[in-house]
């Protein structure tokens, strides 16, 4: 049984879109959390960026 190539491209697009949203969500969430915690913008941006270097997310165990 073979999967049509069009469906595979759609699955790759969906996976790539999900990855982009997860990265953006972790970055923005880390930034605003740090800002709410009283950190300056530059440090908050570092925290937001560094959140993506840590494992985690929906699929991590």
pTM: 0.68
Domain membership of residue 48 as a residue range: 5-52
Torsions phi, psi for 60 (to 5 deg) = -80, 150
Q: How many domains, the chain?
A: 1
Residue 57 lies in a domain: no
Per DSSP, the three-state class of 61 is: coil
Region 36-58: what's the mean pLDDT? 86
Residue 61 lies in a domain: no
Question: For residue 10, what are its two tokens?
Answer: 């759609």
**For 3-32, what is each residue's pLDDT tens digit?**
566 666 777 788 888 888 989 999 999 999
Which H, E and C letters describe the chain, residue by residue? CCCCHHHHHHHHHHHHHHHHHHHHHHHHHHHHHHHHCCCCHHHHHHHHHHHHHCCCCCCCC
Residue 58 lies in a domain: no
Query: What is the Cα–Cα distance from 36 to 54, expressed in whole angstroms?
Result: 21
């Amino acid at each position: 049984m073979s999967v049509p190539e069009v469906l595979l491209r759609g699955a790759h697009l969906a996976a790539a879109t999900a990855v982009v949203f997860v990265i953006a969500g972790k970055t923005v969430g880390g930034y605003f959390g740090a800002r709410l915690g009283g950190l300056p913008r530059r440090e908050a941006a570092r925290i937001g960026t560094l959140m993506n270097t840590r494992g985690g997310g929906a699929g991590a165990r």
